[in-house]
Amino acid sequence: MAARKQRVLRLGLPKGSLQQTTERAFKLAGFDLRISGRSYYPDIDDPEIECILIRAQEMARYVQQGVLDAGITGIDWTLENRAKVKELADLRAPWPNYNPVRWVVAVKEGSKIRKPVDLEGKRIATEVVNLTKRYLRQHGVKATVEFSWGATEVKPPVLADAIVDVTETGSSLRANNLRVIDTVLESTPRFIANRESHGDDWKRQKMERIALLLQGAIAAADRVGLMMNVPKPRLEKILGLLPALGTPTISTLADESWVAINTVIAESVVTELLPRLRESGARGIVEYPLNKIVD
């Protein structure tokens, strides 16, 4: 009888700005992932997964080629590389660099370029040459697009007339006295798969479970648990105050005139909700932290 060979999923993790948050995301999802300073092959406590660090810019290329079964990278770089891959999950999350970013056309304050058509005949510096050319085609504009090795935001007006650059809050653009005139693309991190790998049952289930756990951690990231005791006559009213995020668990208590509510709410409504719950009769309100939510 032959030994069963261990099957393995080759997973690309993004080196660079997404790296730290990705490491944290896998830890929150329950994996013991260790990226040591020098190695490009992080350790993970699942023998069925083999990790490799890859630049976000190159990820989609290697996933398409099949060097990797799956990977995490922004939709921007997948499109820039014109890579043909299968998207399994949008990993937008309230974490640094996992928030949506925008690629925008920007010019120096005071520039005469005010709308896309004004770019006609100009020099545009950018790290995403293909995305920019596609954008110009869509607007029927002809312009010179030069690859920028970085520090793109300081190029106008001397080294370029306009740029296509990435921004999360716009603060770097403002600091360089640039004005946004249009958005080329909004991008978030995605969990992408090689098409052939996705056709393999074992690999697809493996990838879907990883996605489920990452999404469970993301769901918990901006929510909290809330327990409280409520007098039975007020139950209806208080349930009405709670947002519809999953059904609250109502359990009976030894003192039968009260019930206990246990629920999950978005952290962003806490400052609004807590004072009202108290005013409506809830007592012993306790907010506690969560690791993961799977509904």
Neighbours of 142 (CB within 10 A): 11
Separation CA 216–CA 271 (nearest Å) = 24
Residue for token pair 């952290």: 267
Shortest distance (Å) from residue 5 CB to its own copies: 20
| 145 phi and psi angles, rounded to 5 deg | -110, 115
- When the beta carbons of 138 and 144 are compared against its own copies, the nearer one is 144
In angstroms, what CA-CA distances link 98 with 119, 130, 187, 293?
31, 23, 10, 18
Cβ distance 86 to 193 under 8 Å? yes
Residue 53 binding its own copies, by CB under 8 A: yes
Q: Residue 216, interface with its own copies (CB under 8 A)?
A: yes
To its own copies, the closest distance from the beta carbon of 140 in angstroms equals: 27
Q: Which of 7, 20, 40, 109 is close enough to bind its own copies by CB under 8 A?
A: 40
Judged by CB under 8 A, which of 38, 112, 201, 236 binds its own copies?
38
The neighbouring-strand residues paired with 178 are 108
In the region spanning residues 142 to 161, those forming contacts with its own copies, defined by CB under 8 A, are 148-151, 154, 158-159
Nearest approach, Cβ of 115 to its own copies (angstroms)? 26
Owner of token pair 């056709």: 199
Per-residue contact track with its own copies, 243 to 282, x per CB under 8 A?
A: ---xx-xxxxxxx---xx-x-x--xx-xx--xx-xx----
CA distance 213 to 293: 9
Least CB distance from residue 138 to its own copies, whole Å?
Answer: 25
Query: Residue 275 Cβ, how far from its own copies at the closest point, in Å?
Result: 4
Q: Distance between CA 157 and CA 111 in Å, rounded?
A: 8
Q: Which is nearer to its own copies, 2 or 254 (CB)?
A: 254
Q: For 49, phi and psi rounded to 5 degrees?
A: -120, 135
Q: Which member of 58, 90, 182, 200 binds its own copies (CB under 8 A)?
A: 58
Is 15 near its own copies (CB under 8 A)? yes
Three-class secondary structure of residue 86 per DSSP = strand
Angstrom distance (rounded) from CA 277 to CA 237: 10
Least separation in angstroms between residue 282's CB and its own copies is: 8
- Name the maximum alpha-carbon separation found in the chain: 78
Q: Judge contact between 130 and 87, C-beta under 8 A.
A: no
Binding site for its own copies (CB under 8 A): 15, 29-32, 38, 40, 45-46, 52-55, 57-58, 62, 67, 148-151, 154, 158-159, 175, 208-209, 212-213, 216, 220, 224-225, 227, 229, 246-247, 249-255, 259-260, 262, 264, 267-268, 270-271, 274-275, 277-278, 283-295
